[in-house]
Amino acid sequence: MHKKVAVDDVRVGMKVVELDINWMNSPFWRHAFKIKSDKEIRQIKQFCKFVVIDLNESDLAATNHLRQKISDQQEALEAQKTAQLAKKKQKEEKKTEPVEAADTAAWQRLKKAEKDLEQTVEQMSDVFSDIKVGRAVDSPKLKRSVETMAQDVLNDSSSLLLLTRLKEKEQSLAEKSVNVCVLTLTFAKHLGIRKDQLYELGLGALLHDIGMLKVPDNLLNHPGPLNSSQKAIIEQHVMDGVSFVGLNEDLSSMESLRDMIACHHERYDGSGYPRGLKGKSIPLFARILGITTTYEAMTRERFYSESSSPTQALAKLYRWRYKLFDGRLVEKFIQALGVYPPGCLVELNTGQVAVVTAINPDVRTRPVIRVLLSKDQTALTDQPELDLLMPELAHINILRTLDTRDLDLPSV
């Protein structure tokens, strides 16, 4: 149950799911997080008038005072207050126009990407729900999902990559599959793969783990190492996925789709499963998918493993080239994402902390960044976006990447 809450009623332990400011004007990297300290509450009060919380995901002690207040009268007053705030906000936005053209364009691109990403996740959730209960696949819905992601990646892959990094840990199968689709299509775009083949790659990325729908939840959420019998059940998802495609009239004729599902866990040195294929005997699209699925898994927190930063994950892939993965493809993947992928947190030589928002294809060590923290580590109200490729910013350099766990940031 979601509830709008005035900032004066915010408590440590509440699960925030929405703020009343947009992301581009916000000092917070994510807008969904659990409040852990009084410092976070002070920052929320500084920038917001109200927040939306999830009562079910919040600590009971943090929301007792709210649960006692809920009544028809108060709900009516709250609705009235929300309408007044929305009206006031609308007037304030009109007063601030026109804003800088570059910021407006960036914001519009990000909002479109966010809308498309959310819509695709919703569509894939529906598809997977239908499959799980034995209903036929909604092929038009599946086709729309792939085409939307392919077109968005061709238009603006940086916004999509940034948004996939802002998601919370332990995502659903639909969210994970869409993340893999974005990464795979971004990689394919860099490789120069023909546009007509992007559909097949995107479809394979969305459906690569479809067999996981048959794996029991207690195994999917298992917190520790799996024993041999549990591993066998997990690994069976590959053949279950292949069987599903073979039985589907709209999908069974697509050989590349079957290859991607069957072989995305195969490894270059023959150590993968289910067939232990080696080197170039692994189909190209499956070799691509093996890299993108591994990167996605490493950069997302799971029940049994903490996440790696994007830079750490790329470094691991580089160490595994010509062992677990096709070395030339690994190097191309690193080129595609850049040394500092979108969503990566970095420390600058000025002492400030920034998030990478876009890659500069010509000089990948000089990305576009948005500064989040000042040199004394306080959140900035006005977050400047800097293109490090501009000559006048030549004095600003990235010192190192940062782990979000090392930062005292709200919503990170």
CATH number of the structural domain spanning residue 235: 1.10.3210.10
Residue 113 and residue 227: Cα distance in Å, rounded? 41
Q: How many CB atoms lie within 10 A of CB 260?
A: 29
pLDDT exceeds cutoff 50 at 385 = yes
Whether 247 is covered by a domain: the verdict is yes
Residue 10 and residue 160: Cα distance in Å, rounded? 31
Domain hosting 30: range is 2-96
Whether 412 is covered by a domain: the verdict is no
Whether 295 is covered by a domain: the verdict is yes
> For 153-191, how does the pLDDT look when each residue is reduced to its tens digit (9 = 90+)?
988 888 888 888 766 555 789 999 999 999 999 999 999
Which of 337, 356, 379 is the last residue in one of the domains?
337
Whether 29 is covered by a domain: the verdict is yes
* Percent of the residues in the chain that have a pLDDT greater than 70, as a whole number: 83
Q: Do residues 33 and 71 both lie within one domain?
A: yes
Domain count for the chain, please give it: 3
Whether 188 is covered by a domain: the verdict is yes
pLDDT exceeds cutoff 80 at 303 = no
**pTM (global) more than 0.85:** no
Whether 352 is covered by a domain: the verdict is yes
pLDDT exceeds cutoff 60 at 262 = yes
| pLDDT at residue 29, as a whole number | 65
Share the mean pLDDT of the chain: 84
Q: Do residues 310 and 224 both lie within one domain?
A: yes
- Give the pLDDT band (50/70/90) at residue 33: confident
- Give the pLDDT band (50/70/90) at residue 94: very low
Q: Lowest mean pLDDT: which of 51-65, 170-184, 350-364?
A: 51-65
Q: Average pLDDT in the 332-336 region? A: 92
Q: Do residues 328 and 187 both lie within one domain?
A: yes
Q: Do residues 188 and 248 both lie within one domain?
A: yes
